A and B are shown apart, each in its own frame.
Chain A
């Protein structure tokens, strides 16, 4: 296990370094001048120039990159352009719990909705439950999340007043149910299909035949012999989803007005807030890399064949 970590952690650091570099370069080559956006449409050339100087944008890109890396090394992600005097790190850290709650709930929806439905469908292939599932997952897979989100908002929040329309306040869970459901729906459909396929394959496998030949009742065959083999690959993907969601889900946070990391990124792009964008991207990449690592670790614990 230590050998595994010793090999994987440096890899992770290199990946993150690559991401920082890429994010930095991309935000600097896009057309558009943040100083002009800050100064406003009527600002004089002098004002723009002085803002340039303030932000350090008059220095060479190489120098800016170097300064950024040095700051990063000291845990400083820079200061936001748009939100004057707010350090990027603290803005992100403030938004993070919201995104984290959304991510965890979203993954829960994916697993709790998708996996049982998939098992049910696989149990009697071609029967009613299976067909309903196939249809439902098709809808779930093809419906764009922002559309589903708006639909849910219209029906459940606007028409029936069951949920708040937008924002984030106590009791927080009320504000999280609809967005997390929307977030998890597409994934749930996907997991339902995957579970069904894996389950059907497992049910046909020789080890299941063997378990039956041993006189194991169908319940034991399903729970002890099949489910393990079906779930262990899903575990990997659920973990990856969590990492992906943790970095902030831009569309859903925007639709539901949740002030999470996704919304932060979205707003930062709108104002060309370069340090904020780079910081958000770095955080998102960090979560993906870390979850990747954890998932591989968990996988090694579940599946003895990987453990070496």
Chain B
């Protein structure tokens, strides 16, 4: 398999805080990778860094390669030609990510015309086809509507149509369902699923919801305080999480059998903000299994199973084995 995206030791510094510290990630062609973590874990910043969408105040270190090319070295022209054509993004809030003053048709065709060199009429015909694909009725007419005439779920469908317009090799979806009603969340995920399946598009799904991630992704990467704390195939991680934080995330998924949704019930507190003390585990203050060693030595990623790695001195899988 060939790697579409290789991220090596990515760091992102803002003037006062470090948002991402040493994240590595590899996405193969057609693969689906989920990044899960609470807000502030650095998952969205990682996604934005890959798209080169961070504000100029951010300092990005490490390496990002897309199909072998050095993304951090792209000049503005190369960047514009790459985004939208080879890589695309779906954002969290479909209410504000569509331009309120431009017709949906304009927002849909501008990428087609730029990247695929379509003429006005051809781009419009293609836009109609795309809108139909994402399940919007009366597509021909709706192209002339403005975003405010669409519901939230419909707008996210439009956003997905825009992202998929030029059949990119990779789509990054940053919390694509978080702003939507529960009832349409599943529909939007299904749509993303269908479209990426059809063209074998690799997907990086970023979410705070391990339930969403595990239903969609082949592999999962759990982030905490700007670092990866556990990574591996979805099935392995869901069946036997090694890191106490992953365990907590799993426990917080609302069950269908009547439990109320809980937010990290086993771990009270919130992730550290800003400078995480080095020389200890970032999760130590919230971890129910923390011991003295956790506060004196930072754990590093190490194999905890045949396919999984985790950064914990006392992985839960070991306890299960002994």
Contact = CB atoms under 8 A, between A and B. Distances in A.
B76 A207 contact: no
Interface in B87-135: 88-89, 91-93, 96-102, 110-111, 114-115
A225 B102 CA distance: 8
B97 A228 contact: no
A215 B115 contact: yes
A228 B148 CA distance: 16
A305 B76 contact: no
Contacts of B45: none
Interface string A196-223: 0000000011110111111111101000
B101 A303 contact: yes
B300 to A, nearest CB: 33
Q: Is the interface of A mostly helix, strand, loop or mixed?
A: helix
A229 interface: yes
A207 B146 contact: no
Contacts of B149: 304
B110 A216 contact: yes
Contact of B148 (A216, A220, A305): A305
Given A214-B110, A304-B146, A305-B148, A207 B97 contact: yes
Contacts of A232: 101
B101 A213 contact: no
Contacts of A214: 83-84, 88, 110-111, 162
A302 interface: yes
A104 B149 CA distance: 36
A305 B98 CA distance: 13
Interface string B246-274: 00000000000000000000000000000
Nearest to A306: B148
A224 interface: yes
Nearest to A213: B89
A287 B81 CA distance: 50
B320 interface: no
B98 to A, nearest CB: 6
B80 A229 contact: no
Contacts of A220: 110
Contacts of A229: 99-101
B98 A210 contact: yes
B286 to A, nearest CB: 31
Contacts of B79: 215
10 nearest A-B residue pairs (beta carbon)? A215-B84, A215-B83, A304-B146, A206-B97, A213-B89, A207-B99, A214-B84, A206-B96, A210-B97, A217-B80
